[in-house]
Amino acid sequence: MASISVHAVPLHRPCLTQAHARPTTRNLRKSKPNEDFPALRFGGGDATTYTRLPQRDGFVEPTHHSPNEVKLSDVPTTPENGYPLVDDSSIEDEDQVFGEMPLKIDYGEFEDFDEDPDSGGVLGFEDEEVEVEVKEKGVPAVMRCFDQTKIYVKAGDGGNGVVAFRREKYVPLGGPSGGDGGRGGVFIWRKNIHFRAGRGSHGQGRNQHGAKGEDVVVKVAPGTVIRESAVEGEEGKVLLELLHPGQRALLLPGGRGGRGNASFKTGTNKVPTIAENGEEGAEMWLELELKLVADVGIVGAPNAGKSTLLSVISAAQPTIANYPFTTLLPNLGVVSFDYDATMVVADLPGLLEGAHRGFGLGHEFLRHTERCTVLIHVIDGSGQQPEYEYDAIRLELELFNPELSEKPFVVAYNKMDLPEAYEKWSSFKKSLLARGIEPFCMSAANRQGTNEVALAAFKLLQKTTEVNDSAEGLVMEPVNLNHVADLVHKQRNTPINEFEISCDGNTRTWNVAGGGIQRFVQMTNWQYAESMRRFQHVLEACGVNKSLVKLGVKEGDRVVVGEMEMVWEGAKDKA
């Protein structure tokens, strides 16, 4: 028998698009060293960048050094605004200093798959044909990756047992020697979305058991959620979540090999002419969804400066532009602090009111925030009503999933370099302090105040992780990742005398349903005369006949057990 299992493999980055790794060693805090605020390092950062919509007419890219701008360095530190002064003038142009590193894209264990029109995409990369097709639909090239897919998995069928007898020169009446079926070779449809474990080989004479099949392992990225396929628009039940690299779960156990006639030898039947079919492997459609596994998620209204913040605190280079929904898919960046401390930060697309109902990019990215441990709320201080913007975002998160609003968060009031933002800062701060939240202010574009925001998020992350770790330590319960296989196994091993009978009065058809009895029918090899006798005996012994009689079966009625259809005979009726 061959089984299907899923295995989370470490990936370069969790989403399947280009990865930028651009190690630099800028120090953003040259002008104000502080023991409590270790400088950010930009080492070994992984980042994904996606695409941008075409620039809309009427939008003008602002220059950050217009005469109206107030530089943070011009703003005195007052007890009221509490804003730390950072002179950024000494920051060197990173491109000048470090130049471009060649792109190193590590696609890990992923293989090429075709897209299935019904599947909504597959986890992997498309081939040429699909690429052309999607381009025609006007989807930007960089969006052609999937983080949701539907796959079909089937465990291998067991091999059939055989009927054979020992015939050797000096052993004229040798006993039965039919071997049991076993597991067979692997077969994976690489260019498709079907994963099938190979069937076991059939048994052979001389008590040779069939070869067992190799297991099929479907490799997925950490952060993959595996669901039963949706039925009638309803989201399927979550079966598994593979969060950590190296986790492995057995999904579908392979079918048992059928027994050969040597296994049927008894004291009263020394020459059995019966053997079983191999058990069919279980099969199902699954939906895989890759959720981000970022430590920190940057959320906020469109155009608030989320991507700008990520580009400043990490080596990621997301597209930044002065129009809403520049970011369509999450960007990832690694923020490295001294003392070997790093965190993965995700810049998420802008949230709009109604996002929880799917408005804007809605569900598409709200689900990504579910995995982040800490959130950074970026507020556009130059907006009309920053407080309202803050409340609206919090409400959206809560409406989508109350757990999101319970995550620890940092509020970062952005665009302090603009007078309209600077003017509203103190009232914003006051209002949040009144609710017990201490907001930060920053000018992401000028790289001022961003270190403090990143560090606050990091400290919250550390605190939360410690609490979670100690809570997990108390429970100490190992997670059983094989529960799907266990369930399949349990269903298949239902006792043979546990069944349900239903009757279709119009066609006079009786259906006998039960895991054990159906499995028995499937494994019965009807080419042997003894099989029918054995089956009749089982129907009698496990109470099917008795129950049918009790329920009023009549001569000529049809009785269906699995794939076996029989006609009830009068003689049995009287019995």
Ligand X SMILES: Nc1nc2c(ncn2[C@@H]2O[C@H](COP(=O)(O)OP(=O)(O)OP(=O)(O)O)[C@@H](O)[C@H]2O)c(=O)[nH]1
Residue 344 Cβ vs Mg ion, minimum distance, rounded to whole Å: 17
Residue 319 Cβ vs Mg ion, minimum distance, rounded to whole Å: 7
Q: Which of 80, 84, 22 is nearest to 47 (CA)?
A: 22
Task: Determine phi and psi for 75, rounding to 5 degrees.
Answer: -85, 120
Closer to ligand X at the Cβ: 415 or 492?
415
Residue 353 Cβ vs Mg ion, minimum distance, rounded to whole Å: 18
| Binding residues among 324-363 for ligand X as defined by CB under 6 A | 324-327, 349-350
Binds 321: which of Mg ion, ligand X, none (CB < 5-8 Å by kind): ligand X
Residue 77 Cβ vs ligand X, minimum distance, rounded to whole Å: 18
348 neighbors 397 (Cβ within 8 angstroms): no
421 neighbors 304 (Cβ within 8 angstroms): no
429 neighbors 413 (Cβ within 8 angstroms): yes
For 183, counting Cβ atoms within 10 Å of its Cβ (0-12 exposed, 13-18 middle, 19+ buried), the class is buried
Of positions 161, 222, 305, 360, contacts ligand X by CB under 6 A: 305
Closer to ligand X at the Cβ: 159 or 362?
362
Distance CA 100, CA 531 (A): 73
Of positions 11, 239, 282, 320, contacts ligand X by CB under 6 A: 320
* Residue 314 binds ligand X (CB under 6 A): no
CA atoms within 13 A on the CB side of 370: 18
Q: How many CB atoms lie within 10 A of CB 395?
A: 14
Distance CA 259, CA 250 (A): 24
| Binding residues among 11-70 for ligand X as defined by CB under 6 A | 62, 64
Closer to ligand X at the Cβ: 287 or 417?
417
Of positions 261, 327, 373, 448, contacts Mg ion by CB under 5 A: 327
What is the torsional sign of CA 399, 404, 409, 412?
A: negative
| Binding residues among 406-465 for ligand X as defined by CB under 6 A | 414-415, 417-418, 443-445
Which residues have a Cβ under 8 Å from the Cβ of 137 and sit 6 or more positions away? none
Residue 131 Cβ vs Mg ion, minimum distance, rounded to whole Å: 26
* Secondary structure in 3-state letters for 468-530: HHHHHHHHCCCCCCCHHHHHHHHHHCCCCCCCEEEEECCCCEEEEECHHHHHHHHHECCCCHH
Distance CA 510, CA 504 (A): 6
Reduce the DSSP state of residue 299 to 3 states and report it. strand
| Binding residues among 59-118 for ligand X as defined by CB under 6 A | 62, 64
Residue 51 Cβ vs Mg ion, minimum distance, rounded to whole Å: 11
Closer to ligand X at the Cβ: 252 or 310?
310
Closer to Mg ion at the Cβ: 229 or 319?
319
Cα 282–288–290 angle (5° rounding)?
A: 155
Closer to Mg ion at the Cβ: 149 or 326?
326
* Residue 201 binds Mg ion (CB under 5 A): no
Number of residues that bind Mg ion (CB under 5 A): 4
Distance CA 506, CA 504 (A): 6
Q: Binding mask 300-319 vs Mg ion (x if CB under 5 A, - otherwise)? A: ------xx------------
Residue 46 Cβ vs Mg ion, minimum distance, rounded to whole Å: 18
* Residue 321 binds ligand X (CB under 6 A): yes
Number of residues that bind ligand X (CB under 6 A): 26
Residue 356 Cβ vs ligand X, minimum distance, rounded to whole Å: 17
Residue 382 Cβ vs ligand X, minimum distance, rounded to whole Å: 7
Site residues (CB under 5 A) for Mg ion?
Answer: 306-307, 326-327
Site residues (CB under 6 A) for ligand X?
Answer: 62, 64, 300, 302-308, 320-322, 324-327, 349-350, 414-415, 417-418, 443-445
